[in-house]
Amino acid sequence: MAANQCPERTVGAVGLMSEPDSVEMASRRLSIALDALEAAAERRRESDRNEQALAAQIQALGTDRARLAGALDQATARARALETANREVAQRLAAAIETVRSVLNVKDVEG
């Protein structure tokens, strides 16, 4: 019987191979492929977890930004109010200084 006619042998890329060897090679290739698939699935799950963590960080940053924008608006309003009060006080002081000078000038003239 010729080698390619034997039911226990098949012709492969590397020559003659027995059927049990062929099944074992296929089993090893399948096992390697399954390991690769499992590793790819784990990488994908990790990527999804990282994406969710990043989305949570973006949400937190948005919340912080809104809080800080509100605080900045309040500080800006307070600074404007203080500037207005400062101008009013400066005007009153200038008027008081002028009054004191006037009184002193009158006393110098009378005196």
**pLDDT score recorded for residue 7:** 46
**Highest mean pLDDT of the ranges 15-19, 69-73, 103-107:** 69-73
pLDDT in tens, 54-73: 999 999 999 999 999 999 99
pLDDT, average across residues 69-84: 98
pLDDT tier for residue 92 given thresholds of 50, 70 and 90: very high
Burial call 52-87: b when 16+ CB within 10 Å, e when fewer: eeeeeeeeeeeeeeeeeeeeeeeeeeeeeeeeeeee
In the predicted model, what is the mean pLDDT of the chain? Answer: 88
